[in-house]
Amino acid sequence: MSSYKNRFSPGAVRVVALALLVTSILAGRSALADRDDWQEPDRVMEDLHVKPGTHVADVGCGRGYFTFRMARATGNKGKVFAVDVNEKALASVRNEAKRQELANIQTIHSEPTDTKLVAGSVHAALLCMVLHPVPKDQRPPLVESIAKALKPGGYLFVLDLRKVHDSPFHTYEQLVSRSEAIELAKKAGLSLDAEWYYLRHQYFVRFRKPEKQTPSPAERD
């Protein structure tokens, strides 16, 4: 009896592997194309509670999937900081903001571990679909940078893909679990404040910054 190895040539194996890779990529793109369906942006916006006049940050904004929704919610007296490491994405946001006549959007070209947001400048920050592509060693300082930018009592909302083996988007190893996200926020001085369970592919959690920061021993001295 011939072995499995002998039944397929190396070239055939490479062709099959490539076909599987292409199928995986196309499946991911198809899932992303249906984002309005599974992301439920209107319902998410209701739970973000972005109020008129508030200052909020969309960290890792990309081309502004939530940025423009937040800008309309916060109104002319508010401010949305569209933060991203990709200058091309920020240029797209600026062009679209101009087209929509949304003057309350300010783009910020950030660094991987530094949002460049002013300390204590925002009432809330959104981190949507951002944690999993960030290298593991860069996640703690990124979340700490966001926590620093929050006003006392401010909120960080995290939406990211559930870490499951059958994810249509990424491999299991690439994803960041809910418990990992909670630990990152906890180490940054934030506490889990609320959670929603209706999203098909994502966990949706809210963290809160304490109203008053407890000074460190060095600060007390």
Strand partners, 57: 81, 125
Tally the domains of the chain.
2
Q: Quick one: 8 and 52 in the same domain?
A: no
Burial (Cβ within 10 Å: 0-12, 13-18, ≥19) of residue 180 = middle
The answer to whether the CB of 74 falls within 8 A of the CB of 95 is no
Q: Quick one: 49 and 154 in the same domain?
A: yes
Give tens-digit pLDDT for 155-189.
999 999 999 888 877 888 889 999 999 999 999 99
**The domain containing residue 13 runs over which residues?**
1-33
Q: Quick one: 103 and 171 in the same domain?
A: yes
Q: Quick one: 109 and 131 in the same domain?
A: yes
The answer to whether the CB of 59 falls within 8 A of the CB of 93 is no
Q: Quick one: 41 and 63 in the same domain?
A: yes
Q: Quick one: 1 and 57 in the same domain?
A: no
* Edge-to-edge strand ranges of the sheet holding 55-59: 105-109, 79-84, 55-59, 122-128, 150-161, 202-208, 191-196
Please give the model's pTM, rounded to 2 decimal places: 0.81
Q: Quick one: 154 and 92 in the same domain?
A: yes
Name the least confident of 95-99, 132-136, 158-162, 166-170.
Answer: 166-170
If one compares 109 and 26, the residue with the highest pLDDT of the two is 109
Q: Quick one: 56 and 158 in the same domain?
A: yes
Q: Quick one: 70 and 44 in the same domain?
A: yes
Q: Quick one: 119 and 158 in the same domain?
A: yes
Average pLDDT (33-58) is 94
Rounded-to-10 torsion of CA 92, 96, 102, 105: -10
Q: Quick one: 54 and 27 in the same domain?
A: no
Q: What tokens were used for 211?
A: 């109203």
Strand partners, 204: 159, 196
